Each structure stands twice: as structure tokens, then as C-alpha cells.
């Protein structure tokens, strides 16, 4: 993992600490999957993307949640001042440029905004069963992993989990980009099976199994835990030769 942390210039773009954390989370997913495979079970992961995350944060929901977590009042007021009292206008030739108040959304580009968004997403984590479902998220990217004795059962579990997390998201004004959803059925490195035909159906759309690779937070997951694609992509970005 350490060798891949510098690819795509991630350290230069967003900081090594952030990318190191992503490597740790991705390792946790693969470790969890390998544990259930050793136990003779199958594992499947659904990758979700929250639609317009930062833009849909409701002040009336976020600020009371901060107070419910025993956040100091002066801190809550400072945050309220940070996210509220903002205005915007549509600018085009001939427009009056009248400023309008903004009642939702938090500023993008600020380190504080990511932290506030994670707090805002708390209901999405608490609606799932930690003994049956592993949920890992980074800002607006979420993955849910389940396990059972068959991939068919896994698809049913993922559909049920999606129903619960969708309801929790809807309650706080959020939704998912269904067209960005990916599905992966994991295999062991030595397992050779025919193509799995067990898609999931969410929001009346059929999500087929990812062809070979799922890219999540810059890491390329392969169903058999190989890192060949991930390393090859990184070397290609740096224009280095790939040796056997």
C-alpha cells in the first residue's frame, strides 16, 4: 500500500495524511473480505455516491445535531456564522445581479466543511447493522460490504441495506447518484469461476456487476484482490515501465 500512496500526485494535491487514511480504509475493506472468505463465505460490496452532498446540507438539521453532541455553544455559533448569512447571484450579460440569501449548503474547499458533512451524515451510519454490514465512507463516497453463503443472498442484503440508507438520507435532504453506483462480488486470488450474474436493483434500476475494476477514492479494486491494475495505472501516470 505504501508504494501506491504517491501515485497520481495525490500527496501533492490533497496531502499525504488524507491519502494515507484512504489507503488504510481500503486495506480494511480487503481485510474484512478476506476474513469472511477464510470462513467459507462470499462477500459483496456496493459503492455509492451522494448526489450534490455539500450543496444539500440543511442548517436546521446540522446545528441542532451539533448541540445534541454537546458541542460548546460558542463553537456552534461560530459554525453557524461560518455557514449562514451567505448570498449568491446569477451573473450573465444584462442580469440585474440581485443577491439572494442561501439557506442550504456549506462552503466547498474548507477543511471544516468536510468535518461538518461527516457529522451531518451520522444517520446514514447508524441505520445499518454493524454486525451484518460494514460501511466505510469518505465525505460523499460510501461503500457497504455484506457477506453470506451466496452472492444471490448478498444482493438481497445490499438491496435491503440500500433501502434503509436511502430512507435515512432522504430524511436529511440527501439522495444518491444511482448511475454512479458500482457492485463487486469478491473472489479469492486463486478462485476461478464463471462470470457472476447477480445484479442489484435499486431505485428501479439494475446495477450490473462491475466488469473488472472499481475505482474508489483513487484506488482500483479488483474482485480477486490483485493490485495489478492499480499499480499499472500509477506507473502509467508517472510514465514508468511495468516490469513482470
CA distance 206 to 88: 38
State the Rg of the chain over Cα: 21
Measured CA to CA, the distance from residue 69 to residue 84 in angstroms comes to: 20
* pLDDT surpasses 80 at 61: yes
Return the number of other C-beta atoms located less than 10 Å from residue 37's C-beta: 18
Burial class (CB in 10 A: 0-12, 13-18, 19+), 154: buried
Helix, strand or coil, per DSSP, at residue 107:
coil
Rounded Cα distance between 8 and 6, Å, is 7
Lowest mean pLDDT among 42-51, 64-73, 228-237: 228-237
Tell me if residue 119 falls in helix, strand or coil: helix
**Diameter of the chain by CA atoms?**
67
| pLDDT tens readout for residues 209-229 | 877 888 887 778 888 877 767
pTM: 0.77
The rounded distance, in Å, linking the Cα atoms of 220 and 209 is 15
Q: What is the mean pLDDT of the chain?
A: 80
Tell me what the mean pLDDT of segment 172-179 comes to.
Answer: 91
Amino acid at each position: 500500500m505504501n508504494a501506491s500512496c504517491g501515485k497520481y500526485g495525490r500527496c501533492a494535491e490533497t496531502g499525504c495524511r488524507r491519502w494515507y487514511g484512504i489507503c488504510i480504509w481500503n486495506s480494511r475493506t480487503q481485510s474484512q473480505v478476506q476474513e469472511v472468505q477464510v470462513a467459507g463465505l462470499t462477500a459483496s460490496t456496493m459503492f455509492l455516491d451522494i448526489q450534490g452532498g455539500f450543496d444539500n446540507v440543511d442548517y436546521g438539521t446540522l446545528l441542532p445535531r451539533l448541540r445534541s453532541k454537546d458541542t460548546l455553544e460558542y463553537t456552534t455559533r461560530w459554525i453557524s456564522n461560518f455557514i449562514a448569512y451567505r448570498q449568491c447571484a446569477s451573473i450573465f450579460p444584462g442580469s440585474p445581479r440581485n443577491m439572494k440569501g442561501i439557506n442550504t449548503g456549506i462552503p466547498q474547499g474548507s477543511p471544516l466543511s468536510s468535518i461538518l458533512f461527516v457529522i451531518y451524515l451520522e444517520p446514514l451510519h447508524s441505520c445499518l447493522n454493524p454486525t451484518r454490514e460494514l460501511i466505510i465512507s469518505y465525505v460523499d463516497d460510501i461503500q457497504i460490504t455484506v457477506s453470506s453463503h451466496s452472492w444471490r443472498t448478498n444482493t438481497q442484503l445490499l438491496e435491503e441495506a440500500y433501502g434503509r440508507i436511502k430512507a435515512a438520507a432522504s430524511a436529511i435532504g440527501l439522495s444518491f447518484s444511482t448511475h454512479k453506483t458500482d457492485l463487486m462480488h469478491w473472489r479469492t486470488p486463486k478462485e476461478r469461476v464463471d462470470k457472476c450474474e447477480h445484479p442489484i436493483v435499486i431505485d428501479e434500476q439494475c446495477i450490473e456487476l462491475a466488469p473488472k475494476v472499481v475505482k474508489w477514492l483513487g484506488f482500483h479494486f479488483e474482485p480477486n484482490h490483485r493490485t495489478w491494475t492499480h499499480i499499472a495505472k500509477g506507473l502509467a501516470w508517472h510514465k514508468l515501465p511495468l516490469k513482470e
